[in-house]
Chains A and B, each alone.
Chain A
Amino acid sequence: MSIGAGPSGGALIRKQVSNLLYAHPRLFLTLLLGPPLLWLGVVYLGSLFALLLQSFFSIDEFTGLVRREFTLSTYAELFQPANLDIIVRTVSMATAVTLAAAVIAFPIAYFMARYARGRLKAFMYLAVMLPLWSSYLVRVYSWKLILAKEGILSWVVDKLHLNWLLDAILSISVIGGPSLSISYTGMFLVFLYIWLPFMILPIQAALERVPANLMEASADLGARPRQTFRKVILPLAFPGAVAGSIFTFSLTLGDYIIPQIVGSSRLFIGQAVFIHQGTAGNIPLAAAFTVVPIIIMGIYLTIAKRLGAFDAL
């Protein structure tokens, strides 16, 4: 190519490509969205579909092999008392964790959104996110040590002469146990700790979007602070709480590590899936168990939509 004879070949092609894309925005959009849609459509939804398909197969009692014929018998198996127990146990835990997380997260999120400024705000963000920087397993094992019978919590309780209180809690039939580290109470505490950031951040984001003058307008019209909170702040923070609860609820429903490390031998859904697809080799039942959280989340989101949680989106 001679210098000064117009754009070089490479530049010319680039120019033509730009012009082509500019003239055909749909083509540009297709190129842009193609790879992520392929990922979402084939890899993600595809594997989900394969999973659903598995749940309609059954396992041969004798050979232990998967029978590839359509049947609902695997789903019927879910309703056996032992399996139903697992589901009820997991959903109860997820509900308790979600409610407690919302109650604890709200004041923190409110403070972050309304009062914290500058360095304090940065510090708050850091404090909320920091636990996510370290390994999940390490944190769960640390909690096991904290909650163990000879752990730091028992030691503190002992120093405070509150042994009677801890014993009283542990002696309650369902939520108690030999020690906090092998009880539902301990598991609840660990779940709450692990998922709390996922509740704080969406609520904080929702509160951040509420203009301050709405609160002034409310007070101006005669609403006392409690009324402003109930009628203005809470409804506007609700979508954030629902978004957070989707995280805490679904993550608790699917988790199999915490129930295994902190807790008794009673199974949760995640553990059931783990065991059935692994040692037991019952892939259809594992798949059917996996469908349970999906259905529960579907119902949950429908109710949330009915309550108007997504109206502000």
Chain B
Amino acid sequence: MKIAVRFHSVCRYFGEVRAVDNLTFEVADGEFFSMLGPSGSGKTTCLRLLAGFDQPTSGHIEIHGKTSEGVPPYERDVNTVFQDYALFPHMNVIDNVAYGLMVKGVRRATRLARADEMLSLVKLGDLGARRPAQLSGGQRQRVALARALINEPRVLLLDEPLGALDLKLRQDMQIELKRLQRNLGITFIYVTHDQEEALSMSDRLAVFNQGRIEQIGTPREIYRTPGTRFVANFVGLSNLIPAEWAQRLAGFHADCSLRPERIRLMVPEEQPREGEIVLGGTVVDVRFHGADTLHEVELKNGQTLIVVTKSSEDAGPQEARVGMRVHACWSKSDMHPLGNIN
């Protein structure tokens, strides 16, 4: 596996604030790698360190095997799609896209032809003469993408590129970005705070919290076996089973996470499956979410479990209702003990 980007013990402090706190990780060549985390978790700082807008306080960063220490942004083989696009307001779309070639001294005719190609790649072929101010948010986003890709970077950095778009457009762009990345075969490093986006697009993702990486892995690994309490709560919904309880039920010596859709609800008369853990409780809330239905079940010890089931066709007798006494069952293998980072 070729390494595109390597962080080695990278720290970035702003005064007392540890924006990036001793990070070591690698991103493979051609990978779609997401940095997921709440705002202020250090993901954007990492991106800025990579782009060269900021320097690490300590540690070092390698891009394609070369140290990036002292290398200014304009000499790095990476390009950035900015969160608010950062299009040049005094240039029209085609000149914006061709900017990277212009500063390299490429002849005007050549660079405009190339910019045209890039614009058709992002499906904006006929808007070259417009000014950025005349475009919609989604169109600006595409121009920013085309502009960043024209230099054929080996690594593309994307800083919450879809953050300002509405839901439908965002979903369309997610599919398009993913397709683009597969076709071009370049490394995408994608910063987002949207866990669904990170799960659906990434080959691997890193979950950031307070300047550190809580967990790094494929979307499936992160979702199925969250390593820490933070990851279990930030990525998807999760039930936290306290350690003493987890020990009694399944012999684990740590807090455990249990995904709500791994729990079955059944009427008390029904027989559980072989080896299942069964706890009795009362349904206190039912919320319909379209494809899924979310139930809150209060157990006898006062603890609440969240249970998500596929919504059934119609409200039959087996449909759980508020006030109903139920048994919640799950298998031991669905419980994942959580660690703490350091």
Chain A residues with CB under 8 Å of chain B are: 211, 213-214, 216-224, 227, 231-232, 235-236, 308, 311-312
Q: Which residue of B lies closest to A217 (CB)?
A: B86
Query: How many Å lie between the Cα of A62 and that of B88 in the bound state?
Result: 65
B53 at the interface (CB under 8 A from A): yes
B337 at the interface (CB under 8 A from A): no
Which of A221, A236, A311 is in CB contact (< 8 Å) with B100? A221
Which of A211, A219, A312 is in CB contact (< 8 Å) with B72? A219
Given contacts A220-B51, A227-B103, A311-B90, contact A213 B74 (CB under 8 A): no
For residues 63 through 119 of chain B, which have their beta carbon under 8 Å from a beta carbon of chain A?
A: 72-74, 78-80, 82, 84, 86-90, 99-100, 102-104
B interface, by DSSP: helix, strand, loop or mixed? loop
Residues of chain B within 8 A of A213, CB atoms compared: 82, 84, 86
How far in angstroms is the closest Cβ of chain B from A235?
5
A218-B99, A221-B147, A223-B74 given. 19 additional CB < 8 A pairs? A211-B84, A213-B82, A213-B84, A217-B86, A217-B87, A218-B88, A218-B103, A220-B52, A220-B73, A220-B148, A221-B74, A221-B100, A221-B151, A222-B74, A223-B103, A224-B74, A224-B103, A231-B103, A235-B90
Given contacts A224-B103, A227-B103, A231-B103, contact A219 B74 (CB under 8 A): yes
Q: Are A232 and B88 in touch, CB under 8 angstroms?
A: yes
Q: Are A220 and B79 in touch, CB under 8 angstroms?
A: yes
Residues of chain A within 8 A of B78, CB atoms compared: 220
How far in angstroms is the closest Cβ of chain B from A223?
4
A interface, by DSSP: helix, strand, loop or mixed? helix
Query: How many Å lie between the Cα of A214 and that of B87 in the bound state?
Result: 7
Query: Can you pick out 26 interface pairs between chain A and chain B where the beta carbons lie within 8 Å of each other?
Result: A211-B86, A213-B84, A214-B86, A214-B88, A216-B73, A216-B82, A217-B80, A217-B82, A217-B87, A218-B88, A218-B103, A219-B52, A219-B53, A219-B72, A219-B74, A220-B53, A220-B78, A220-B148, A221-B99, A221-B100, A221-B103, A221-B151, A222-B103, A231-B99, A232-B88, A312-B89
Q: Which residue of A lies closest to B150 (CB)?
A: A221
Residues of chain B within 8 A of A219, CB atoms compared: 52-53, 72-74
Residues of chain B within 8 A of A220, CB atoms compared: 51-53, 73-74, 78-80, 148
How far in angstroms is the closest Cβ of chain A from B188?
15
Q: Are B53 and A216 in touch, CB under 8 angstroms?
A: yes
Residues of chain A within 8 A of B148, CB atoms compared: 220-221
Query: How many Å lie between the Cα of A213 and that of B85 in the bound state?
Result: 9
Q: Which residue of B lies closest to A216 (CB)?
A: B53
How far in angstroms is the closest Cβ of chain A from B29?
20
Query: How many Å lie between the Cα of A231 and that of B80 in the bound state?
Result: 19
Residues of chain A within 8 A of B100, CB atoms compared: 221-222
Residues of chain A within 8 A of B86, CB atoms compared: 211, 213-214, 216-217
Q: Which residue of B lies closest to A209 (CB)?
A: B89
Q: Which residue of A lies closest to B75 (CB)?
A: A222
Residues of chain B within 8 A of A218, CB atoms compared: 88, 99, 103
How far in angstroms is the closest Cβ of chain A from B231?
31
How far in angstroms is the closest Cβ of chain B from A214?
6
Q: Are B80 and A222 in touch, CB under 8 angstroms?
A: no
Which of A222, A231, A236 is in CB contact (< 8 Å) with B89? A236
Query: How many Å lie between the Cα of A211 and that of B51 in the bound state?
Result: 18
Q: Are B99 and A312 in touch, CB under 8 angstroms?
A: no
Residues of chain A within 8 A of B87, CB atoms compared: 217
Residues of chain B within 8 A of A214, CB atoms compared: 86, 88
Most B CB contacts (10 A, CB to CB) among A216, A232, A236, A311 go to A216
Residues of chain A within 8 A of B151, CB atoms compared: 221-222
Q: Which residue of A lies closest to B159 (CB)?
A: A213
Residues of chain B within 8 A of A235, CB atoms compared: 90
How far in angstroms is the closest Cβ of chain A from B91?
8
Q: Which residue of A lies closest to B79 (CB)?
A: A220
How far in angstroms is the closest Cβ of chain A from B319?
52
Q: Which residue of B lies closest to A308 (CB)?
A: B90
Residues of chain B within 8 A of A308, CB atoms compared: 90
Most B CB contacts (10 A, CB to CB) among A222, A223, A235, A236 go to A222
Query: How many Å lie between the Cα of A78 and that of B53 in the bound state?
Result: 59
Q: Which residue of B lies closest to A213 (CB)?
A: B86
Residues of chain B within 8 A of A211, CB atoms compared: 84, 86
